[in-house]
């Protein structure tokens, strides 16, 4: 039975208070079994750091549903890595999520939408399919961490996702060294693109290598002022960077006409 969402803010505050001093492993383990949390799915990109959370889930509850969003624009290496980890970690319920063919045929028939509006492309290929896949779940587990950028600097273990469901961020307080140590100590396979200069990996058309000294996410939507794909909500708003100049001008014109 779905949890009552009437006072989700209060429940999130109580959960954060209850688990404030717990480790990532303890937060994840208890979240997967706490009736106050409800039924969870893990959403994973099978990207550069995904193996840490996937491994933790495989140890604690390998039957946890894992939602993998295949935008059909991913690197071939990501698809191969997904298959490798699924087998190695013995995750028993991986669900590959894709956009509705009718949506892509209408909105992006030639696969070039990302060249004109990355937000629109992310929306039909990530946001809409994930929203559809999360129906029936009380919340979802993410791999977000505070160190990943200003929009995540105050990240808590538990969040209210716009009044719809819970989000659980077990690795919120982990640093980059914690992740690397965990991967090494548990002898986990790395995404093959990491060694080629990709510390953060998304869709192939919108991800580029990162130079030494750059922010690890600098290769995502490079030069566009965009910092999130749109699946994460903060204070009821999709987290995005500023619109490119052309899009901002069009939006302003549309608003003035209205």
The catalytic site residues sit at 229
What is the C-alpha to C-alpha distance for residues 10 and 31, in angstroms, rounded to an integer?
16
Which residues share a beta bridge with 66? 42, 94
CB atoms < 10 A from the CB of 239, how many? 17
Output the CA angle 153-129-100, nearest 5 degrees: 155
What is the C-alpha to C-alpha distance for residues 32 and 54, in angstroms, rounded to an integer?
14
Tokens of 221: 């939507």
What is the C-alpha to C-alpha distance for residues 93 and 235, in angstroms, rounded to an integer?
31
* Residues near 258 by beta carbon (within 8 Å), at least 6 away in sequence: none
Residue linked to tokens 């992740």:
179
Q: Is 58 helix (H, G, I), strand (E, B) or coil?
A: helix
């Amino acid at each position: 039975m779905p949890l009552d969402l009437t006072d989700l803010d209060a429940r999130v505050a109580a959960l954060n208070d209850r688990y404030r001093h717990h480790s990532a492993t303890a937060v994840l383990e208890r979240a997967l079994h706490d009736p106050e949390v409800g039924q969870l799915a893990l959403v994973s990109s099978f990207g550069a750091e995904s193996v840490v959370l996937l491994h933790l889930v495989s140890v604690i509850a390998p039957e946890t549903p894992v939602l993998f969003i295949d935008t059909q624009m991913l690197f071939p290496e990501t698809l191969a890595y997904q298959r490798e980890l699924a087998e190695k970690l013995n995750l028993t319920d991986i669900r590959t999520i894709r956009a509705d063919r009718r949506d892509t045929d209408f909105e992006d028939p030639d696969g070039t939408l990302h060249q004109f509006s990355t937000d629109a492309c992310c929306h039909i290929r990530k946001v809409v399919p994930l929203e559809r896949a999360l129906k029936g779940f009380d919340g979802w587990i993410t791999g977000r961490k505070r160190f990943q950028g200003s929009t995540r600097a105050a990240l808590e273990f538990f969040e209210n996702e716009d009044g719809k469901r819970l989000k659980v961020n077990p690795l919120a307080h982990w640093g980059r060294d914690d992740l690397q140590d965990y991967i090494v100590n548990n002898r986990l396979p790395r995404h093959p693109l990491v060694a080629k200069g990709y510390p953060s990996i998304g869709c192939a058309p919108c991800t580029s290598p990162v130079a030494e000294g750059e922010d690890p996410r600098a290769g995502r939507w490079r030069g566009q002022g965009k910092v999130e794909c749109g699946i994460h909500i903060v204070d009821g708003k999709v987290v995005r960077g500023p619109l490119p100049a052309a899009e901002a001008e069009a939006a302003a014109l549309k608003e003035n006409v209205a």
